Amino acid sequence: EDAPTVDQLDQRIRVLERQLELQQEDADTNARKTATVSASDKGFTIQSADNAFQFRFRGLMQADGRWFLDDKAPRTNDGFLLRRVEPTFELTFSRILFLRIQPNFAPDSATVSDVYGELRLDPAFYLRAGKFKEPIVLENLQASAGIKFNERGLPNEIGPNRDYGVQVGGDLLGSTLSYAIGVFNGAPDGRDGKQQPDTDNRKEVAGRLFVEPFKNDPGLLQGLGFGVGGSCGDKNGSGDSSQVKYRTPGQNTFFSYLAGSGGTVAYDGAETRISPQAYFYRNRYGLFGEYIVSRQKVSLASDSATLSNKAWQVLGNVVLTGEDASYAGIVKPKRALGKDGYGAVELIARYGELEIDKDAFPIYASPTASANKARNWAAGINWYPLANLKIGLDYSQTGFDGGAASGDREDEKLLFTRFQVAF
Amino acid sequence: EDAPTVDQLDQRIRVLERQLELQQEDADTNARKTATVSASDKGFTIQSADNAFQFRFRGLMQADGRWFLDDKAPRTNDGFLLRRVEPTFELTFSRILFLRIQPNFAPDSATVSDVYGELRLDPAFYLRAGKFKEPIVLENLQASAGIKFNERGLPNEIGPNRDYGVQVGGDLLGSTLSYAIGVFNGAPDGRDGKQQPDTDNRKEVAGRLFVEPFKNDPGLLQGLGFGVGGSCGDKNGSGDSSQVKYRTPGQNTFFSYLAGSGGTVAYDGAETRISPQAYFYRNRYGLFGEYIVSRQKVSLASDSATLSNKAWQVLGNVVLTGEDASYAGIVKPKRALGKDGYGAVELIARYGELEIDKDAFPIYASPTASANKARNWAAGINWYPLANLKIGLDYSQTGFDGGAASGDREDEKLLFTRFQVAF
Amino acid sequence: EDAPTVDQLDQRIRVLERQLELQQEDADTNARKTATVSASDKGFTIQSADNAFQFRFRGLMQADGRWFLDDKAPRTNDGFLLRRVEPTFELTFSRILFLRIQPNFAPDSATVSDVYGELRLDPAFYLRAGKFKEPIVLENLQASAGIKFNERGLPNEIGPNRDYGVQVGGDLLGSTLSYAIGVFNGAPDGRDGKQQPDTDNRKEVAGRLFVEPFKNDPGLLQGLGFGVGGSCGDKNGSGDSSQVKYRTPGQNTFFSYLAGSGGTVAYDGAETRISPQAYFYRNRYGLFGEYIVSRQKVSLASDSATLSNKAWQVLGNVVLTGEDASYAGIVKPKRALGKDGYGAVELIARYGELEIDKDAFPIYASPTASANKARNWAAGINWYPLANLKIGLDYSQTGFDGGAASGDREDEKLLFTRFQVAF
């Protein structure tokens, strides 16, 4: 065979150059067209190459134990339970349409937590419709994966939980001010609203303003936030699904309005709630507090009154292993178990009170069956071996004024355990 | 360093040529072996490189409002609701086995809409088993994401809804003829069938033939389709789950057979349904109509009779912004919101009637509690800002003959709102 | 144009060499960073490039028919049903944390089958919390997609089903020994446990040891396994959710303790279960057997007794088309339908008995309403056209001692059909 000529080599190099160029173009085209996937501690996603469409799978599983330390107290049985089982689909369409479907399989009959569509026209304006949390109570708005104790505190018994309705909201001033205002079917204190056919024809308006003035300024006050939430609306109803019942952290009812053969107390007009709230997070330390008062008109037979029930709490946490505390709540350990350490550890403490209007007794509630005041303190420890795992142990004690034939209802003393997987 | 020789260059070029070849082979092999993903307005998929296995995630969320315009009419309360929350898994195995799991989280206790497996041996023959819609009523067979009004019309109250059973079907003659025939537990008018233990031992056979003669011929009549569905089967039962109740679009019952202390009407023998149906779609215009009659044997104490209840409706729509109308129903806007326009807009109108057999009164139904005829008309507007979003507003009015102590039941006047995300 | 010089060619080749190297590095980096997906008969997965995080979607759908061959027997109505509809998410985080969420949409109200988190610190040790099967009964621990008959046999009526609790377990000695021990709320015979608030404050400990001594030695005895499961715990309760009811394969109750106006039998103290068990799989043949006895203290008014109920069964299968039989149960056909054959076919047969303690009658159970012994035999055929599809037909006949006013309860004769998609 003859040695190749320089011209032949030149030819072959040209071919190679062109082939390489084409290969690179192919790869670039593919990257532009091909949807991408990811799997991490933040969940599992499929998204289109231009990011306009996204599927994200997230979830939360809480396997709890509840152990009452005193057999005398009025209480449910000890035992294991699934507190939340929420596989969650978060979907984005054309960049501006968002859909969240969050079922909850923990109850014996599965139901939904959040389900809503949201049209995000601007950071400063979204329109949301479906079922979601009324924008009022600070701890209630914290994601369930991030709350510090097994059960939220007493103010959540007065604020509403999730409800059916529409809401607008957004972030202003460089995200230092967030607002939300919505119209809802109306939820009884501490509970979910009911969907149409609603318990009544009246609707409830709820809103919240929250400010983090130094959010964009690294410094001492960067993690400071404060605001106010509230609601107002007529209510009308006396059935079980509109009845007010306040519960302890152990989920035992310590206050309810009279119901039954002696007559049933009815919601009978305006309810107004207002809740100032604040938090402060700085490095490993976190503190938040909130207050809520609800004024509501109730009636029984020919009597009627406007009663004010109120609650407040303060909650603090410190991450012993040095990771940052935050309102989002989940601590991602610097040194994970099975890798280079044993995870993160956090101490938590809380105190709160709930007080019933004195005028509720004895016409609208029985002083020997319902307490007029509850005081709860709780302390515990959370261990985060991995970013997606939390193992928690906390003790909660609730004392009462009234609520028993003999005077004060027995204290509820309760040990909580939790095994939580969140992603 | 010496200048390279031509032979050395030749050597290096050979190496490059071989490397490039290998790289290309690797890329091709990967493409052949690697499962692919996609994310678009059609949903989210994972499929094997040979397309034999496919996971497809789809969904539907309808957040509605129902606002009755007249407080006098017998009706439920106004309010917001979740009408359908259906995250849906469509799975394909070995090309020929299909599985659809469509839960519905809208009810307070989650349930399933469709669940079935389907062995697709040929375009002309599939075998299906599970829970799915009986093949009878045209509007009922239309996907819930594509129906024009918030609630389907009166013929759907007489046809069955989903049921448990097995079905065979397929497409013949170049897909211009489709057939389906199945055996089911048997569903009461307007409702889902019950699974084993069924209300009775008897089964129901349902089938449908539908022709689109010009489907493959572009031209005036391409969008024309017509056919007939029907069912027959013995029924036997009087409990709540087999009781016939006809509802208005506002979901208020306006007719039911007698039940209770005065005796309860029982299904007591054969029920036969027959439903001729047709549609025509041409560019931006759509029109469809259907009729259904049900003959069923009922009894009360020593009386028995075979009663014929019937209903029909005509429904039209026009897409103002020029997109195509179709039976599938979803309009994909040419100019989407947030991109180059404001989406698509469609006007919709409907008229329908439902008539009870005159012999039903007064033995089997109370003339003062149940109407003997209902007339519904409705009109509305649908806005499709994006391919996956529909915002709808429609008005529905239903008038009655009979059904009240004073003569005619009050008209139902109802404003519907809908925020729908479908993919 | 001048001919290129050798030096120029050398330059261009260097550039190409470098580009090719970079392209290869890019591809390698991408492969290391990019999450991968797969779609096959084993399900659908997304996993991070380092395999630490994984999403796996699996599922099971069983569309059944139940056809009783004798109208005289006490029984439910014939009909179609969805037996299991279980889309399942299996998630792995940081390699060592596993989460399984398995809803079941077959009941009219959706619920969960399995939900648990599992920290897998070592093959020899995991910690699990949530809701899952108590580790006792062999056939119960077999995956529902793999059981041979439509309904499990009589020993499953005495063992517990799923329960809420925590468990540790693992594999030792080269996986030839597996162990599991857990604490649970306590489940009544044949049923799921109830979550907190539990029916009582007492808990149940359950455990199981299972040996496959020749698992790693190919040879005659490789598929041999045997072991023992058991539970003990105090029980206390008489409500419907703690009441013992034994059912036939047709899901008709043939034994229950007295309940109602004449007094209700209560669990009233210790229950102990013990269950020796074994299986043997060899090529196309499979055989397994198990025995279970439950001793439990019951009381009614001033009477109390400790009663021993027991059951056993033997089950065999042979795969006619030559594929391997296994405890996992699913047969993957060598020649699939629509490809190169007609799938796999298997014959199955079973015999089992359940015997009530003689002392149960007549104080704690009625001899004319509850049988004291049941004998079940069943035989059938399973066809696996594809790896993910099973179509089954089996016949089950159950005879009784006692249980009817006239002496023996009528035999239950039952034809089962199943259309199963599993992946």
**By the 8 A CB rule, do B215 and B194 touch?**
no
Quickly tell me which residue has 């857990």 as its tokens.
Answer: C182
> Tens of pLDDT along C344-356?
999 999 999 999 9
A partners (3+ CB pairs within 8 A) are B, C
Please report, as a single letter, which amino acid is at residue B357.
D
Which pLDDT score, from 0 to 100, does residue B240 have? Answer: 73
Please report, as a single letter, which amino acid is at residue B292.
I
d(CA B309, CA A361): 57
Distance from CA of C267 to the nearest CA of A (A): 16
Distance from CA of C168 to the nearest CA of B (A): 32
B15: left (phi over 0), alpha (psi -120 to 50) or beta: alpha
Mean pLDDT of all residues in C104-132: 96
Q: Which tokens sit at B224?
A: 């024309």
Residue C362 Cα to chain centre, angstroms: 35
Task: Tell me if chain A has a CB within 8 Å of the CB of B11.
Answer: no
**By the 8 A CB rule, do C87 and C110 touch?**
no
> Tens of pLDDT along A43-58?
999 999 999 999 999 9
d(CA C238, CA C269): 12
3-state secondary structure of A73: coil
With a pLDDT cut of 90, the percent of chain A lying above it is: 82
**By the 8 A CB rule, do C104 and C112 touch?**
yes
- Average pLDDT in chain C: 94
Which pLDDT score, from 0 to 100, does residue B26 have? Answer: 86
Quickly tell me which residue has 């020749």 as its tokens.
Answer: C214
Interface of A with B in 148-207 (CB under 8 A): 164-166, 184-185, 195-201, 203
- Average pLDDT in chain A: 94
Residue A76 has a CB neighbour count (10 Å cut-off) of 14
State which residue of chain C sits closest to B107, comparing Cα positions.
C109
Q: Which long-range contacts (CB under 8 A, 24 or more apart) does A236-239 make?
A: A236/A199, A236/A200, A236/A201, A236/A202, A236/A266, A236/A267, A236/A268, A236/A269, A237/A199, A237/A200, A237/A266, A237/A267, A238/A264, A238/A265, A238/A266, A238/A267, A239/A199
- Sequence-separated (6 or more) residues with CB below 8 Å from residue C19: A20
> Tens of pLDDT along C136-189?
999 999 999 999 999 999 999 999 999 999 999 999 999 999 999 999 999 999
d(CA B287, CA A267): 48
> Tens of pLDDT along C277-331?
999 999 999 999 999 999 999 999 999 999 999 999 999 999 999 999 999 987 8
The answer, yes or no, to whether residue B33 has pLDDT greater than 90, is: no
Which pLDDT score, from 0 to 100, does residue B272 have? Answer: 97
> Tens of pLDDT along B130-141?
999 999 999 999
Angle, CA of B116, B120 and B123, to the nearest 5°? 130
**By the 8 A CB rule, do A82 and A63 touch?**
yes
d(CA C280, CA A161): 55
What helix, strand, coil percent values describe chain B, rounded to 5?
10, 55, 35
> Tens of pLDDT along A180-209?
999 999 999 999 999 988 888 899 999 999
Least confident of A50-59, A270-279, C12-21, C405-414: C12-21
Task: Tell me if chain B has a CB within 8 Å of the CB of C19.
Answer: no
> Tens of pLDDT along B369-416?
999 999 999 999 999 999 999 999 999 999 999 999 989 999 999 999
3-state secondary structure of A9: helix
**By the 8 A CB rule, do A71 and A419 touch?**
no
DSSP A130: E
Burial class of B137 by CB neighbour count within 10 A (0 to 12, 13 to 18, 19+) = buried
Task: Tell me if chain A has a CB within 8 Å of the CB of B423.
Answer: yes
Least confident of A360-364, A371-375, C197-201: C197-201
Domains observed in chain A = 36-422 (2.40.160.10)
> Tens of pLDDT along B210-238?
999 999 999 999 999 999 999 999 988 87
Q: Which tokens sit at C32?
A: 């290391």
Q: Rounded to 10 degrees, what is the CA torsion of A220, A221, A223, A228?
A: 160
> Tens of pLDDT along B274-322?
999 999 999 999 999 999 999 999 999 899 999 999 999 999 999 999 9
Which pLDDT score, from 0 to 100, does residue C5 have? Answer: 87
- Most B CBs within 10 A among A6, A34, A53, hence the mutation to make, goes to A53
Angle, CA of C284, C289 and C294, to the nearest 5°? 160
Is B3 within 8 Å of C20 when comparing Cβ atoms? no
Residue C367 Cα to chain centre, angstroms: 33
Which pLDDT score, from 0 to 100, does residue B1 have? Answer: 57
- Average pLDDT in chain B: 94
State which residue of chain B sits closest to A99, comparing Cα positions.
B421
Which pLDDT score, from 0 to 100, does residue B198 have? Answer: 81
d(CA C113, CA C143): 11
* A353 beta partners: A312, A375
d(CA C410, CA C390): 31
Which pLDDT score, from 0 to 100, does residue A400 have? Answer: 97
d(CA A41, CA A274): 37
Mean pLDDT of all residues in A106-114: 94
Residue A293 Cα to chain centre, angstroms: 20
Residue C24: which pLDDT band, with cuts at 50, 70 and 90? confident
d(CA C226, CA C279): 6
- Sequence-separated (6 or more) residues with CB below 8 Å from residue C407: none
Give how far Cα C416 sits from Cα of A95, C69, C78, C154, Å: 50, 11, 10, 16
Distance from CA of B253 to the nearest CA of A (A): 13
Burial class of B192 by CB neighbour count within 10 A (0 to 12, 13 to 18, 19+) = buried
B301: left (phi over 0), alpha (psi -120 to 50) or beta: left
**By the 8 A CB rule, do A281 and A128 touch?**
no
> Tens of pLDDT along A342-352?
999 999 999 99
Cβ-Cβ contacts under 8 Å, A197 against chain B: 76-77, 79
Which pLDDT score, from 0 to 100, does residue A323 have? Answer: 96
Which pLDDT score, from 0 to 100, does residue A262 have? Answer: 83
Q: A-C interface: how many C-beta pairs under 8 angstroms?
A: 170
Give how far Cα A73 sits from Cα of A378, A408, B228, Å: 17, 11, 67
Three-state SS sequence of chain C: CCCCCHHHHHHHHHHHHHHHHHHHHHHHHHHHHCCEEEEECCEEEEECCCCCCEEEEECEEEEEEEEECCCCCCCCCCEEEEEEECCEEEEEECCCEEEEEEEECCCCCCEEEEEEEEEEEECCEEEEEEEEECCCCHHHHCCCCCCCCCCCCCHHHHCCCEEEEEEEEEEECCCCEEEEEEEECCCCCCCCCCCCCCCCCCCEEEEEEEECCCCCCCCCCCCEEEEEEEEEEEEEECCHHHCCEEECCCCCEEEECCCCCCCCCEEEEEEEEEEEEEEEEECCEEEEEEEEEEEEEEEECCEEEEEEEEEEEEEEEEECCCCCCCCCCCCCCCCCECCCECCEEEEEEEEEEEECCHHHCCCCCCCCCCEEEEEEEEEEEEEEEECCEEEEEEEEEEEEEEEECCEECCCEEEEEEEEEEEC
Task: Tell me if chain A has a CB within 8 Å of the CB of C5.
Answer: yes
DSSP A110: -
Interface of B with C in 253-292 (CB under 8 A): none
* B404 beta partners: B407
Which pLDDT score, from 0 to 100, does residue A212 have? Answer: 98
Residue B49: which pLDDT band, with cuts at 50, 70 and 90? very high
Residue B75: which pLDDT band, with cuts at 50, 70 and 90? confident
Residue C1: which pLDDT band, with cuts at 50, 70 and 90? low
> Tens of pLDDT along C236-278?
887 777 788 999 999 999 999 999 888 899 988 899 999 999 9
Cβ-Cβ contacts under 8 Å, B117 against chain C: 61, 63, 389, 419-421
3-state secondary structure of B98: strand
Please report, as a single letter, which amino acid is at residue C56.
R
Residue B102: which pLDDT band, with cuts at 50, 70 and 90? very high
Quickly tell me which residue has 């992603």 as its tokens.
Answer: A423
d(CA A28, CA A47): 17
Which pLDDT score, from 0 to 100, does residue C49 have? Answer: 93
Task: Tell me if chain A has a CB within 8 Å of the CB of C220.
Answer: no
Residue B241: which pLDDT band, with cuts at 50, 70 and 90? confident
Task: Tell me if chain A has a CB within 8 Å of the CB of C79.
Answer: no
- Sequence-separated (6 or more) residues with CB below 8 Å from residue B26: C27
- Sequence-separated (6 or more) residues with CB below 8 Å from residue A307: A295, A296, A297, A298, A356, A357, A359, A360, A364
In DSSP notation, B388-417 reads TEEEEEEEEEEEEEEEETTEEPPPEEEEEE
Max mean pLDDT among A233-247, B2-16, B396-410, C237-251 falls in: B396-410
The answer, yes or no, to whether residue C231 has pLDDT greater than 80, is: yes
Instruction: Please choose, from the candidates A366, A395, A352, A390, the residue with its C-alpha nearest in 3D space to the C-alpha of residue A153.
Output: A352
